Chains A and B, each alone.
Chain A
Amino acid sequence: MNPSVDALRTTFGDAIGRAEAARDGETIAFVRPDRLTDVMRWLRDTPGQAYDYLVDVTAVEYRDRERALEVVYFLRSLERHADLRVKVELDPRGELAVDSVTPLWAGANWLEREVYDMFGVTFRGHPDLRRILMWETYAEGYPLRKDFPLRGRFSRAEQVRQALNANPEAHYSLEELSIAEAFDEVPAEMRERLRRGERGKLPFDE
């Protein structure tokens, strides 16, 4: 068991939940979601800990629907050659939201965007939380959630129809159009739709 867990317990008390050993020998520390940034900042900045490198951020949803959805942070101390895995448990039926660690590690930017894109977890305080692998108007949901069917929610015909009807302008974000000063030139109706962040509709929403 990684000694950092004991140090965490001394400093943060009941904000640190259980700790487990993974099958690769690393330690997993469970942290209460509301204290995540404090814990991470402490782990990064405390001299004896010095977890200065964020290896990866991802999420795990279990096939057992009762189990919490986990957001997993892989930390590494480059000088001490030590690894620590920090997990945050979120109730999949509640609001899936946790504070962003992008202010601590710039590399978390895209990794958190991917977790948002694939699992629908919102990262509070993220500077640019947009979909990253799927396109911005993708409306079928979050692909890596267990309730998402392997072939997607829409039928193949619907997917083709949406692809053929897509606006070429919608390939640019509002921000990008404003760089080109093209924003004032697009039709007012389209501008309105882009401003709303036009998304398709799920069949069962109607």
Chain B
Amino acid sequence: MSKRTVELELATPGLDARGQPARVPLVARGLEPGNEPDLGGEHLLINLGPQHPATHGVLRLVVELDGEMVVRVIPHVGYLHSGFEKLGEYRHYNQIIPLTDRTDYLSPMANNVGLALAAEQLMGIEITPRCQVLRVIACEMSRIISHMVWLGTTSIDLGAFTPFLWAFQERERIYDLQEMWTGARLTTSVTRVGGLMADVPDAFVPGLRHFTNTFPNTLAEIDRVLTRNAVWAGRTQGIGVMTKAEAITYSLSGPMLRASGVPYDVRKDKPYLGYETYDFEVPIGEHGDVYDRYLLRLEECHQSNRILRQALDRLPDGPINVDDPRVILPSKSRAMSDMEAMIFHFKQVMEGVKAPVGEAYVGIENPKGELGNYLVSDGTAKPVRWRIRPPSFINLSALPKMAEGHLLSDLIAINASVDIVMGEVDR
């Protein structure tokens, strides 16, 4: 790309044509036109991260620049690698659940659900109706907080500070509900194989109902301040475009895939937790650019809110855990007073729950994309292999393709639009 020179008609030195002060010195001293060094051939290497606020975590990008244009991006990941998959091979199925909190730490509850579903599929366990609905609530709450963090941080990256505050305030309200339910805001560990860690407290349902009634107001405010904002549109439209075919070949999933016009949502196309019985719509993008991804995530928040309302309306009474003493711990009081319950308690804690030989893959629609949990068992209480299909890792692998030919400042917008969380990319 050739150098770009800015030409302004100067009426008086230091003032532009309209009489406003010209803030940018157009030509440096001693570098009058015709006298400036030729910069055309040299490419610049820029190291972005791993400690950089705009890379959303410890992502390191080595960027080759021609002037301000990105020629090539070489991402380096792994700074947060914790070996979760290896650790999982040394743990009982229920002991893996705390590890899933720490992968995609912006939607911990949905990760808990994903692992529990895979383990239940492997063991052939059918969960109770109340547990199903509560897990749907957990997944959709996660989607809202994850999208709110995405929206807040992306708007900050592009220079809009106010939506960040609104989005994080909404996230805080969900965190209060999560804390009410599980005692933790971030490391929820809410599921167990065959059920849940705890039932929701009495104040939870009215609290969540209040949230679903007031949350759309915030979405409307964000919509009003961003969607038709000229700066926002200018920074996002036509940036980082992935066509339909490219999105498929790069194995993108979630909002990234749907923004490119591929109507695939695991909740609709391979339903789990009874999602087929909920009335909601899956938004699809048209252009596959950053702006479409923004619109799509905003609409997904509306749809998640709809699902939450329906889930609250239908929340059945009944047990949250399956009635199977081999997988569910007896209550503390029974374990201390009933001999048989104590034996089951002992066997579960000491030996763990044994899964039959075989393997199971369960994909769920996480906020970032399709989160897959693949468990292989050799008949013992610990999996031979636990594989997480990490949606943001795979979505991030398309970043070099998306950023090529854009400006460095657009690279920040594109990287933000992928919605990565490094805990999950590096695992």
Report chain B residues within 8 Å CB of A111.
251, 394, 397
Q: Report how far A150 CA is from B394 CA in the complex, Å.
A: 26
CB distance from A76 to the nearest CB of B (A): 9
- Known A-B contacts A55-B372, A133-B78, A134-B81; the reply to A107 vs B269 at CB < 8 A is no
Residues 355-406 of B contacting A (Cβ, < 8 Å): 356, 358-363, 370, 372, 374, 376, 378, 384-385, 387, 389, 393-394, 396-398, 401
Q: Is A81 an interface residue (CB 8 A)?
A: yes
Q: Is B109 an interface residue (CB 8 A)?
A: no
Q: Is B250 an interface residue (CB 8 A)?
A: yes
Q: Is A22 an interface residue (CB 8 A)?
A: yes
**B262 lies within 8 A of A78 (CB):** yes
**A23 lies within 8 A of B378 (CB):** no
Report chain A residues within 8 Å CB of B62.
172, 176
- Known A-B contacts A22-B360, A107-B394, A135-B78; the reply to A81 vs B389 at CB < 8 A is no
Q: A173: nearest residue on chain B (CB-CB)?
A: B74
If over half of A's interface residues share one DSSP class (helix, strand or loop), that class is named, otherwise mixed; here it is loop
**B389 lies within 8 A of A56 (CB):** yes
CB distance from B152 to the nearest CB of A (A): 27
- Known A-B contacts A22-B361, A107-B397; the reply to A133 vs B81 at CB < 8 A is yes
If over half of B's interface residues share one DSSP class (helix, strand or loop), that class is named, otherwise mixed; here it is mixed
Q: Report how far A54 CA is from B247 CA in the complex, Å.
A: 11
Q: Is B158 an interface residue (CB 8 A)?
A: no
Report chain B residues within 8 Å CB of A148.
86
Report chain A residues within 8 Å CB of B370.
55
CB distance from A1 to the nearest CB of B (A): 15
Q: Is A92 an interface residue (CB 8 A)?
A: no
**B378 lies within 8 A of A133 (CB):** no
Residues 95-145 of A contacting B (Cβ, < 8 Å): 105-111, 114, 118, 131-135, 143-144
Q: Is A198 an interface residue (CB 8 A)?
A: no
Report chain A residues within 8 Å CB of B376.
60, 62
**A132 lies within 8 A of B90 (CB):** no
Q: Report how far A74 CA is from B43 CA in the complex, Å.
A: 40
Report chain A residues within 8 Å CB of B83.
143
- Known A-B contacts A22-B361, A61-B385, A81-B270; the reply to A110 vs B64 at CB < 8 A is no
**A179 lies within 8 A of B361 (CB):** no
Q: Report how far A56 CA is from B393 CA in the complex, Å.
A: 11
Residues 168-206 of A contacting B (Cβ, < 8 Å): 172-173, 175-176, 179-182
Report chain B residues within 8 Å CB of A42.
none
Report chain A residues within 8 Å CB of B44.
180
**A143 lies within 8 A of B384 (CB):** no
Which A positions have Cβ atoms within 8 angstroms of B?
Answer: 22-24, 26, 28, 52-56, 58, 60-64, 72, 74, 78, 81, 83, 85, 105-111, 114, 118, 131-135, 143-144, 148, 150, 172-173, 175-176, 179-182
Which B positions have Cβ atoms within 8 angstroms of A?
Answer: 42-45, 62, 64, 72, 74, 77-78, 81, 83, 85-87, 90, 121-122, 124, 246, 248-252, 262, 264, 269-270, 356, 358-363, 370, 372, 374, 376, 378, 384-385, 387, 389, 393-394, 396-398, 401, 426-427
Given contacts A111-B251, A133-B426, A175-B74, 5 further A-B contacts (CB under 8 A): A62-B384, A72-B374, A85-B361, A106-B250, A134-B78
Listed A/B pairs (12) with beta-carbon separation below 8 Å = A58-B374, A60-B359, A78-B248, A105-B249, A110-B397, A111-B394, A118-B85, A133-B77, A144-B85, A179-B45, A179-B64, A181-B42
